[in-house]
Amino acid sequence: MNCLEFRRLKLADPRHVDAAGQAHLEACASCREFALEMDGLEERLAAQLNVAVPEGLAERLILRRKTGTPFSAKFFAMAASVFVAVAVGLTSWKFLATPNYARFAIDHVMNEPESFTTVRDADPQLLHQVMQNFGGEMLAPIGTVRYIKLCPVPGGTGWHIVFDAGDGKLATLILIPARHGKTGSEYARLGNWNAVARPGGQGFYAVITSSPDSLAKTDALIRRQLRWRS
């Protein structure tokens, strides 16, 4: 088996390399590197495809066998969505009229608790690219990045970043694109959550932590390590 044949086999089925492929792998350093790279991609792909399954799915399927009645998840979800939309609409019309980014950032973090338990695209190089894209420059690392995701924010799509800000405490940085001329900083507190939003880059950046002390420390860290072009 030559390198071309091995790579074709590896691309077609990375998990099943036959004996001839294994023999080639042992003799060829370049194909070993390729195989490692493909195994890494395959792991990433498998993790991505492994989406969460709705709670109680198996029980609903078994119940349907017993009763013959299909369960409409869509109906209950739509009813819940309408209720939530009305409740949010009634309570936050003022907030929407004059967006408070610090308060938005806390709400967003509370709605995405998985950002603290999931490791996702934890790539420092990617953080550099995201910052550059948003109009920022990283003068020094801000800590170990654990989570980076594109998220819906007021006025478009922003970035949700979770990092280890030291002492094992996690902090969140949210980049929010905005075009209006607000220039002041905004603060918010809800339960244990504390946030500050400041103008920077292509809009605002918000820092969210779970205590006032760590907010002050993380805010200072961000201001020290990041420089905004605007």
Nearest to 209 by CA among 177, 187, 183, 185: 187
Tell me the per-residue interface mask from 8 to 47 with other proteins, x by CB under 8 A, - otherwise: x--xxxxxx-------------x---x--xx--xx-xxx-
CA dist list (Å): 198 to 6, 101, 193: 53, 9, 17
For residues 5 and 213, which CB has a smaller minimum distance to other proteins in the complex?
A: 5
229: helix, coil or strand?
A: coil
- The CB-of-55 to other proteins minimum distance in angstroms stands at 11
H-helix or E-strand spanning residue 10: helix 3-12
- The CB-of-132 to other proteins minimum distance in angstroms stands at 8
Enumerate the β-bridge partners of residue 198.
205
Q: Does the protein bind other proteins through residue 50 (CB under 8 A)? A: yes
- For residue 54, the 8-state DSSP code is P
For residues 44 and 229, which CB has a smaller minimum distance to other proteins in the complex?
A: 44
Number of H helices, E strands in the chain: 8, 8
In the range 80-139, which residues lie near other proteins by CB under 8 A?
121, 123, 126, 129-130, 133
For residues 14 and 166, which CB has a smaller minimum distance to other proteins in the complex?
A: 14
Nearest to 107 by CA among 193, 177, 165, 185: 193
In degrees to the nearest 10, what's the CA dihedral of 165, 210, 111, 44? Answer: 20
Contact with other proteins (CB under 8 A) among 29, 74, 97, 180: 74
Q: Does the protein bind other proteins through residue 55 (CB under 8 A)? A: no
* Contact residues for other proteins, defined by CB under 8 A: 3-4, 7-8, 11-16, 30, 34, 37-38, 41-42, 44-46, 48-51, 53-54, 57-58, 60-62, 64-65, 70-71, 73-74, 77, 121, 123, 126, 129-130, 133, 148-150
